[in-house]
Amino acid sequence: MLSGFYTVASGVLVNQKCVDVIGNNLVNSQTPGFRSDSVKETPFEQELMSRYDSSGNALLGDGKVSIAVTVGGISTSFEAGRLQETGRKLDMAVSGDGFFSVKGYDGNAYLTRNGSFSVDNQGYLALSGVGRVQSANGDIAVSGSDISVGTDGTVKSAGGNTLGKILVEEPADFTTLKKNQNGLFTTTGQLGASGKFQLLQGNLELSNVDINSEMTNLIASQRALQNCASALKTIDSLDQKASAQIAAV
C-alpha cells in the first residue's frame, strides 16, 4: 500500500509542477522574446541512483524503490519566436543567434531577446525596469528616440553620428543560462559576440509560447492532478479500513 501511496503522491507533485510551469508560460505569452519552459520527468529510481553520499562513493538507499516519478528539471526551449513589425524606432529584434546584453540597475548582467527598448531619464538606451542596453564599450547614450539602427547593431543619431553598437552575445554553453523573470537570463559561463544575426529595427520578437499546445497540456496536467488527488483519498480510506479491521482482530 505504501508503494502505491508514494507513486500517486509523486504524481501529484509532478503534475502540480507542470501546472505551475505551463501557467507561467501562458502569463508570459505576450512578453517579447520570452522562452517557454517544460518539466522533465525522471523515474525516482534513476534519480535515487544519481545521488551519492558526502564521500561521493556509495549510492544512497538500499535499492528498494517504487515506480514513482519525480521532477528531473525544467527545460527551456530556445526556439526563436515570430517577428512582428511595429514601426517603433526603439523596438529591435534579433534575427538569428544571440541575445541583447543589458546591465541591470541591480548590478547584474542580463541576456534577453526582448528588444522593446526605451530611453531612460539620463538619455541612455534601456530595457524599461531592467537596465541599460550594452555596447562593447558600455552604456549607449542616445538622448532621444530619433535614432537609426543598422543590421549590424550600429546606432546613429538623426544627424548621422555614430552613438554606439548594440552588443549581441551568446553563451558558449546554453546549460549555464539561468532563467529569471520576464524573459531575462544570467550566466556564469563564457560569452562571445554572435556573428550570425541581423538586428531589425522597428520589429519585436514575440514569445515562442504555443498557446494551443500549452492549453492542451494544461488541461491534461490538471486532470492528471485531480485523478492523483482522488487516488490518494482512496488509498487513505483503504488504509483506515485496514487499520480498523486489524484492530478488531
DSSP SS3 for 208: coil
User: How far from 129 is each of 111, 119, 181, 182, CA to CA, in Å?
Assistant: 14, 11, 12, 11
Strand partners, 94: 199
What's the pLDDT at 241?
Answer: 58
**Over 70: is that where the pLDDT of 61 sits?**
no
Q: Please report, for the chain, the start and end positions of each structural domain, with discontinuous segments joined by +.
A: 2-78+209-248, 83-205
DSSP SS3 for 77: coil
Q: Do 100 and 111 meet the contact criterion of CB atoms below 8 Å apart?
A: yes
Which of 3-13 are b and which e, b meaning 16 or more Cβ less than 10 Å from the residue's Cβ? Answer: ebbebbbbbbe
Q: Residue 88 — very low, low, confident or very high, per pLDDT cuts 50/70/90?
A: very high
Q: Do 58 and 71 meet the contact criterion of CB atoms below 8 Å apart?
A: no
User: What do you get for the CA distance between the two ends of the chain, in Å?
Assistant: 20
Q: Residue 77 — very low, low, confident or very high, per pLDDT cuts 50/70/90?
A: very high
What's the pLDDT at 195?
Answer: 73
pLDDT per residue over 122-159, tens digit each? 999 999 999 999 999 999 999 888 999 999 999 999 99
The pTM of the whole model exceeds 0.85:
no
DSSP SS3 for 225: helix
pLDDT per residue over 20-40, tens digit each? 999 999 999 999 999 999 998
pLDDT per residue over 97-126, tens digit each? 999 999 999 999 999 999 999 999 999 999
pLDDT per residue over 153-182, tens digit each? 999 999 999 999 999 999 989 999 999 988
Q: Residue 196 — very low, low, confident or very high, per pLDDT cuts 50/70/90?
A: confident
Q: What is the DSSP string of 159-186?
A: TS-EEEEB-EEEES-GGGEEE-GGGEEE
How does the average pLDDT of the chain come out, rounded? 84
CA atoms 74, 79, 85, 89: torsion sign: positive
Strand partners, 12: none
Chain mean position to CA 5: 32
Residue 112 buriedness (CB in 10 A; 0-12 / 13-18 / 19+): buried
Closest by CA to 116, choosing from 102, 124, 127, 132, is 127
